[in-house]
């Protein structure tokens, strides 16, 4: 009789262990599912941004004037294209974005509305304000003017 009682206790404790292990596995699976969802959302966002960038490029003779100017401005300003596309109002980001918009207006035949859409969905009046701000900065800051003029000369060769 003692053996039967011990066997029943062992069976019960084994089933409790298995149940507890099952709970741990389920908990781990739920945690992993949460991470998988986050990874999936991030990869979806990356794909969306890449398609957005691809859709903004209009191909001209195998390469886009906009893309060449964008890459050159990013190189000139020691930044990258995603930073130029940020919606932040940080002074450094805004100044770089305005310089990019001014370069697009100067070096391409894009309209103000096209530049606004290409640079992040801005209105044409915002682009006009950016161009005016860069012109004013070039009037007051000689180092900036020399930098931009040499950039424009290099790009038009």
Quick: pLDDT tens for 50-93. Answer: 666 555 544 433 446 888 898 889 888 988 888 888 888 888 88
| pLDDT value, residue 59 | 41
> For 63, phi and psi rounded to 5 degrees?
-140, 155
Q: CATH number for 63-156: choose from 1.10.1750.10, 3.30.1120.10, 3.20.20.120, 1.10.150.120.
A: 1.10.1750.10
Joined together, the tokens standing for residue 51 give 């398609």
| pLDDT value, residue 92 | 87
pTM: 0.59
Closest CA to 84 of 62, 53, 41, 123: 53
Distance in angstroms (rounded) separating the CA atoms of residues 84 and 103: 13
Instruction: Identify the DSSP state of 39.
Output: H
- Would you list the domain boundaries of the chain? 1-56, 63-156
């Amino acid at each position: 009789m003692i053996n039967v009682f011990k066997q029943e206790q062992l069976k019960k404790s084994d089933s409790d262990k298995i149940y507890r292990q099952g709970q741990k596995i389920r908990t781990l699976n739920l945690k992993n599912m949460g991470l998988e969802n986050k990874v999936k959302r991030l990869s979806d966002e990356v794909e969306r941004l890449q398609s957005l960038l691809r859709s903004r490029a209009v191909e001209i003779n195998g390469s886009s004037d906009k893309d060449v100017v964008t890459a050159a401005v990013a190189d000139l300003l020691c930044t990258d294209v995603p930073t130029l596309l940020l919606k932040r109002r940080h002074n450094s980001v805004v100044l770089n974005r305005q310089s990019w918009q001014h370069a697009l207006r100067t070096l391409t035949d894009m309209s103000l509305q096209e530049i606004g859409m290409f640079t992040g969905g801005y209105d044409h009046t915002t682009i006009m304000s950016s161009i005016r701000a860069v012109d004013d900065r070039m009037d007051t800051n000689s180092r900036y003017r020399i930098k931009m003029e040499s950039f424009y000369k290099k790009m038009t060769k």
